[in-house]
């Protein structure tokens, strides 16, 4: 171990020991100093970075861990910036929500105390709530900012602090960097004002939930079709998270009556005892729900992550077997339904648009183009979708948007991905398919025949700790300085470097500016429109490879063989790119 690093780490640990910390934290630090130098280094070798979205990290004692002191520093820095940003307001209002994770309520109450100690009027939900409801609350209550305590779908050891601005969207430029500067100015635990004013903390309860549900209900496009198919059999799992009350409630508000939940997973538990990971992107997370769906011969399975902003679904295929759809497939089904219904009901005026992220399937672009609806591409992160909605407010109408990582949104009253809303609209899409004598899987095949068969694969390389972070960065350097020229026998014709904000046609040499914020992302596009995107995760110790391939599908009977060939191609590309 680097002796200099160890000395620096011990010095930081001792500064904490000499600060106003609780006995539990003091004992944990002393234990690491005496018994576990490796854990001491991991806990103190750097400060848990307040990034553009806030904090996320493993819970524990130390500067590189999620605890009331790192959360406190973040909150105090955010408070200081809010005061600077709204000097003219006689009263500053903020909203706070939290998920089911261990310590989430404790952290949320800590944030409330610090905000109130800074003179803010605070709205704190009485118990766990979905992240999208926090976004809704900020707008509904006229707040200047908000915080949700969540680590989304990360493993149980993690928690996080996600900051929002007055539009209900996650923090973006210029506020993100300005807030980071303010947080970095908090040099000591003693700089945090923990002395809360309880008279300024207001409770949000079930009455507020009803306002949110009523808004969701207004998004329904075919209530009469739902009424005719109210017995659509739906199995839903909250996977121990915040969707447990509001997802079933929203489904019932839309008119669905045949809803089954998974009792073992209705229990809010930050240890997520029935799953290895509470991530609906992973097949195993929906296992119990699918088994229940088989028992009941259900039509649709849905599962949401701990903070209910992402939803995974399973549907019956042409062999009457449940298959899990990926985020791109669900987005295609949802947006094709929404835009199609807007058109059939005469709601398209030429001012409507959809938004997707740069790593999301191009099939959404094909759908938008077919209906002559404008489509925006943004960087990965729903905050950029929220920013487009904000910029177009009053000028254009947002129909919907999505990202491959299982997040979707419709309407403009929420400004973050919303799994509560998505579950209701996905169920409505399924009821529409049933009205046509089809399943969602049938609808998906129809989409492929109409727009092209797009298939995707996501590879995530997890490299933990300090060394892992350095390996991820080096991998990006290698791809940027020595990019591949051929992948799966296809010539790469375009290289998009979002860090340089430059797109290069490798055949003609022509260069174009990418009009998006700087981001450490690379994309390779081949002569057959195969697309490979490479980016290190901003919230996890991962580097991600998004691979998309496509071909024509002329008839339903060719689906299985075409699907097999595309899967084989994806596997081959994955091997090539990971071992490059």
Cα distance between residue 251 and residue 419, in whole Å: 12
With CA atoms as reference, report the closest residue to 69 among 183, 229, 154: 183
DSSP codes of every residue in 7-39? HHHHHHHHHHHTSS--HHHHHHHHHHHHH-HHH
- Bridge partners for 397 per DSSP: 352
Are 247 and 307 a contacting pair, CB within 8 Å? no
Which residues have C-beta within 8 Å of that of residue 472, sequence separation ≥ 6? 461, 463, 536, 541, 542, 543
Please tell me the distance from the alpha carbon of residue 120 to that of residue 92, in angstroms, as a whole number: 5
Within 13 A of 427's CA, how many CA atoms are on the CB side? 37
Compute CA 35 distance to the chain's CA centroid, rounded to the nearest angstrom: 38
Whether the CB-CB separation of 343 and 329 falls below 8 Å is answered with: no
Active site residue 508: no
Nearest to 530 by CA among 500, 572, 497: 572
Instruction: Say how far apart CA 299 and CA 290 lie, in whole Å.
Output: 11
DSSP letter string, 485-496? SEETTEEEEEEE
Rounded distance between C-alpha atoms, residue 535 and residue 16, angstroms: 35
Round to whole Å and give the CA distance between 300 and 304. 14
Q: Please pick, among 79, 116, 135, 152, the residue that the annotation labels catalytic.
A: 152
Polymer length of the chain: 580
Q: Which residues are identified as catalytic?
A: 152
């Amino acid at each position: 171990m680097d002796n200099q690093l160890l000395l620096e780490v011990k010095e930081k640990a001792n500064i904490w020991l000499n600060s106003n910390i609780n006995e539990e934290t003091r004992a944990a630090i002393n234990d690491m100093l005496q018994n576990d130098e490796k854990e001491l280094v991991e806990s103190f070798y750097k400060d848990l970075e307040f990034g553009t979205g806030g904090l996320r990290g493993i819970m524990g004692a130390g500067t590189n861990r999620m605890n009331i002191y790192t959360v406190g520093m973040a909150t105090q820095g955010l408070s200081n910036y809010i005061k600077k940003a709204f000097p003219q307001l006689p009263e500053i209002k903020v909203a706070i929500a939290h998920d089911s994770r261990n310590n989430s309520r404790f952290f949320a109450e800590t944030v409330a105390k610090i905000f109130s100690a800074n003179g803010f009027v605070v709205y704190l939900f009485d118990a766990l709530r979905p992240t999208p409801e926090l976004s809704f609350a900020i707008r509904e209550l006229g707040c200047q900012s908000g915080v949700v305590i969540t680590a989304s779908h990360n493993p149980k050891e993690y928690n996080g602090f996600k900051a929002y601005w007055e539009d209900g969207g996650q923090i973006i430029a210029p506020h993100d960097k300005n807030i980071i500067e303010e947080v970095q100015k908090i040099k000591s635990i003693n700089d945090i004002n923990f002395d809360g004013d309880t008279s300024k903390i207001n409770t949000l309860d079930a009455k507020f939930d009803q306002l949110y549900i009523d808004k969701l209900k207004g998004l329904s496009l075919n209530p009469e079709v739902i009424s005719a198919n109210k017995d659509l059999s739906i199995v839903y799992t909250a996977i121990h998270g915040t969707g447990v009350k509001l997802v079933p409630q929203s489904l019932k508000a839309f008119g669905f009556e045949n809803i089954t939940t998974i009792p073992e997973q209705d229990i809010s538990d930050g240890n997520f005892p029935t799953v290895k990971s509470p991530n609906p992107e992973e097949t195993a997370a929906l296992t119990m729900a699918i088994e229940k769906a088989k028992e009941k011969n259900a039509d649709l399975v849905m599962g949401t992550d701990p903070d209910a902003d992402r939803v995974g679904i399973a549907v019956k295929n042409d062999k009457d077997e449940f298959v899990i759809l990926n985020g791109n497939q669900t987005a295609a089904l949802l947006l094709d339904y929404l835009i199609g219904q807007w058109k059939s009901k005469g709601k398209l005026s030429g001012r409507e648009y959809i938004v997707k992220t740069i790593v999301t399937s191009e099939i959404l672009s094909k759908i938008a183009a077919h209906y002559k609806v404008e489509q925006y591409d943004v960087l990965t992160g729903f905050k950029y979708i929220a920013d487009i909605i904000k910029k177009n407010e009053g000028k254009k109408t947002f129909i919907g948007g999505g990202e491959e990582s299982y997040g979707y949104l419709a309407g403009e009253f929420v400004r973050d991905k919303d799994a509560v809303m998505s579950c209701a609209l996905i169920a409505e899409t399924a009821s529409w398919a049933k009205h046509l004598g089809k399943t969602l899987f049938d609808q998906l095949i129809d989409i492929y025949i109409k727009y092209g068969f797009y298939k995707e694969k996501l590879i995530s390389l997890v490299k933990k700790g300090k060394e892992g972070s350095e390996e991820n960065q080096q991998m990006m350097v290698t791809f940027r300085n020595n990019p591949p020229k051929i992948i799966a026998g296809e010539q790469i014709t375009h290289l998009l470097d979002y860090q340089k904000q430059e797109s290069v046609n490798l055949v003609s040499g022509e260069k174009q500016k990418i009009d998006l914020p700087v981001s450490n992302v690379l994309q390779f596009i081949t002569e057959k429109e195969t697309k490979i995107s490479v980016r290190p995760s901003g919230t996890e110790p991962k580097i991600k490879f998004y691979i998309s391939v496509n071909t024509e599908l002329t008839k339903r009977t060719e689906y299985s063989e075409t699907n097999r060939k595309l899967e084989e191609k994806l596997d081959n590309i994955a091997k090539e790119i990971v071992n490059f």
